[in-house]
Amino acid sequence: MLATVAFAKLPPSVCDQPSISRQDKIEFTGPSNEMSSCTFTKNFKESAYIQMERSYAGNEKRYKHSRDSFMGIHIKTPEKKTNFDIEVHNDRIEMPGKSPKRCFGLFKTPHPFVLRINMYKFVDIQKTLFSIAYKRSKHFQECFTFETEEMSEYFQMSIEGKSQTGKIQIVRNIDETDPQKSEAFAWYKVIKDVQELKKDVESIRFKLTQTRVEHLTNKKDLQDNHVELKESMVRLRVGHRDQLNRHSWTTYGLVGFLLVLGLIAIKRMKEYIRKRDKIF
């Protein structure tokens, strides 16, 4: 039996009504929810790790026109001039604004990935450096870095999700440490792998059953074809025998007829010779 996973609690937040908030996740958009947002009251002094998932419940629909879904992360600092936004789209992470920054990648996946926001403070020059990175497997990949003209002691965030296509956008964890290094996430990975393995086993079992049915069907078809071939051989053999018998009786009749004609011819020849001898 699998153990129950106790995920780290999400930071305190205030969410609007459409979002589905539980202890282990917040669902911002889905098939019945196009937009929602949450504001978190936690102060992040150095780093924030946001663990999220973005995928469709069933097959992804196709649209004639572009309908982008995204997760927007609004970063707020005590110095309001340094506030900025980060948007996670299907194909990119970007910071819109006068000097936009972006990096491209695959951010549409049912498997969790982590967005990292690092803040470095320079006391001597009174500036702050922000670094944005993401991780889908073992290592983080740098996305972009920028500097603000004021030094910030901490930052807070609010998150909103928007989708007109039914995309499920979930935040599972927000913390100051990497959630993928926690014991809870390790258990989550184990359970996720077991579930994937179970799906694979079910798929193999279905394919084996399907193959067995096809094999039995082919075997029955082969047996039926064998019976039909056997019956065809019997009919062919009987037909050849009847045809040979018919040919044999015809031959016998023809030979008999020729013998009769020969006897008649011999008899008439003898009569002719006797008449001729009496005349001469």
- More confident position, 169 or 63: 169
199-257: pLDDT as tens digits:
888 888 888 888 888 888 888 788 877 778 888 887 778 777 777 777 777 777 787 88
Which residue type sits at 167? Answer: K
What does the domain layout of the chain look like in residue ranges?
13-177, 182-280
Share of the chain above pLDDT 70, in %: 85
Contacts of 247 (CB under 8 A, 6+ apart): none
Q: Measured between alpha carbons, how far is 27 from 79 in angstroms, rounded to an integer?
A: 30
Q: Measured between alpha carbons, how far is 118 from 138 in angstroms, rounded to an integer?
A: 18
How wide is the angle at C-alpha 234 spanned by C-alphas 228 and 240, nearest 5°?
135
- Identify the band that residue 5 occupies on the pLDDT scale cut at 50, 70 and 90: very low
Among residues 149, 91, 158, the alpha carbon closest in space to that of 125 is found at: 149
Fold of the domain built from segment(s) 13-177 = Jelly Rolls (2.60.120)
Two tokens, residue 212: 């067995």
How wide is the angle at C-alpha 137 spanned by C-alphas 21 and 133, nearest 5°?
75
57-90: pLDDT as tens digits:
776 666 656 678 899 999 998 877 778 899 999 8
Contacts of 68 (CB under 8 A, 6+ apart): 89, 90
Whether 50 has a pLDDT exceeding 80, the answer reads yes
Q: Measured between alpha carbons, how far is 264 from 252 in angstroms, rounded to an integer?
A: 18
The answer to whether the beta carbons of residues 8 and 174 sit under 8 Å apart is: no
Contacts of 178 (CB under 8 A, 6+ apart): 49, 114, 116, 135
- More confident position, 7 or 48: 48
Residues 257-277, mean pLDDT to the nearest whole number: 80
List beta partners, residue 76: 156
Among residues 117, 73, 69, 112, the alpha carbon closest in space to that of 89 is found at: 69
List beta partners, residue 121: 128
Which residue type sits at 115? Answer: L
